[in-house]
Amino acid sequence: MRKVFEENMEDQRKRDIAKKEAMEKEAATIKEYNRLLDEQEEQRAQELAARMDRQADLMKKLQENVDTVKKGAGDNDAQRALLQAEEQDRHYFEAESVKQNRLQQMRLENQAYLLKQMEEKDSRKNEDKYLQQIQAQILERDAEEYNTIEKQKVVDRKLRNLEHRKDIERQMEYKARQSVPEMSEAEIQLNRPLLLLVEQTLQTRDENLKKAQEMAPVLEEDMDGDM
C-alpha cells in the first residue's frame, strides 16, 4: 500500500510540474502576444502622427495654392483636391478607430482568459490539496496498521517464549519424578531426612512455578505498556 501511495504521489508531482510548465509557457505566449500588440499599436500611433503631419503640410500647400489660384480658373481644382484629401483622411481615421477598438476588445478578452486560467489554477490547487489529505489519511492508517501488527508480533513472540519455558519446566519436573527409585520401608525410614529435603525442594520449586504462572498476566500487561 505504501508503494502504491508513493507511486501516486510521484505521478501527482509529475502532473503538477507539467501543469506548471504549461501555464508558464501559456503565460509567456500571452505576454509576447500583448507585446506585439503594443508594438503594433505604437507603430500605428506613429503612422497616424506622421499622416497628420503630412496632412497638415498638404493643407498648408493647398491653402497656398488656393490663395495663388484663387482669382483664376484653378480655384476649383484646388478645392477638389482639398476635399479628396479630407475624404481620404476621414476613411483612414475611421479604419484606424475600428482597429483600435478591436485591439481594446482583444486586450479585454486576454484579460478575461488570464483571469479564468487563474481561477482554474486555484481550483486545481484545492483539488490537489484534498487529494493530498486523502493520501495522508491512507498513509496514516497504513502506519497504524503496521504498528499494530508489529506490536502483536512482539506479544506473540513473548507468549511463545513463555510457553516454551513452561514446557521445559514440565519436562524437567517429569524427568525428576521419573528418576526417583522405589524404596522399601526400611530404606524409606533410613533415608527419611533425605526424602524430606527432596520433598521440600520439590515443594519450593512448585511454589515458585505457581508464582511464575500467576505473574504471567502481569508480565503481559507490562509488555503491553512497553509497546
pLDDT of 110 over the 70 cut? yes
From 4-8, 70-74, 79-83, 96-100, the region with the lowest mean pLDDT: 70-74
**Which pLDDT score, from 0 to 100, does residue 66 have?**
59
Q: What is the pLDDT of residue 222?
A: 53
Average of per-residue pLDDT values in the chain: 72
- CB under 8 A, 24+ apart: contacts of 22-25: 23/117, 23/121
Q: Is the pLDDT of residue 176 over 60?
A: yes
Report pLDDT for 67: 61
Task: Quote the pLDDT of residue 218.
Answer: 53
The domain locations on the chain are: 2-151, 153-226
pLDDT of residue 19: 79
CA 128 from chain centre, in angstroms, equals 6
| pLDDT tier, 62 (very low <50, low <70, confident <90, very high otherwise) | low
Most confident residue range from 77-81, 93-97, 136-140, 159-163: 159-163
Q: Taking the model in full, what pTM does it have? A: 0.29
Long-range contacts of 101-110 (CB under 8 A, 24+ apart): 103/37, 103/40, 103/41, 106/37, 107/34, 107/37, 110/30, 110/33, 110/34
Mean pLDDT for the stretch of residues 187-196: 69
180: left (phi over 0), alpha (psi -120 to 50) or beta: beta
Q: Which of 14-18, 141-145, 193-197, 222-226 has the lowest mean pLDDT?
A: 222-226
The reported pLDDT for the residue numbered 80 is: 67
The rounded distance, in Å, linking the Cα atoms of 11 and 8 is 5
Q: What is the pLDDT of residue 27?
A: 76
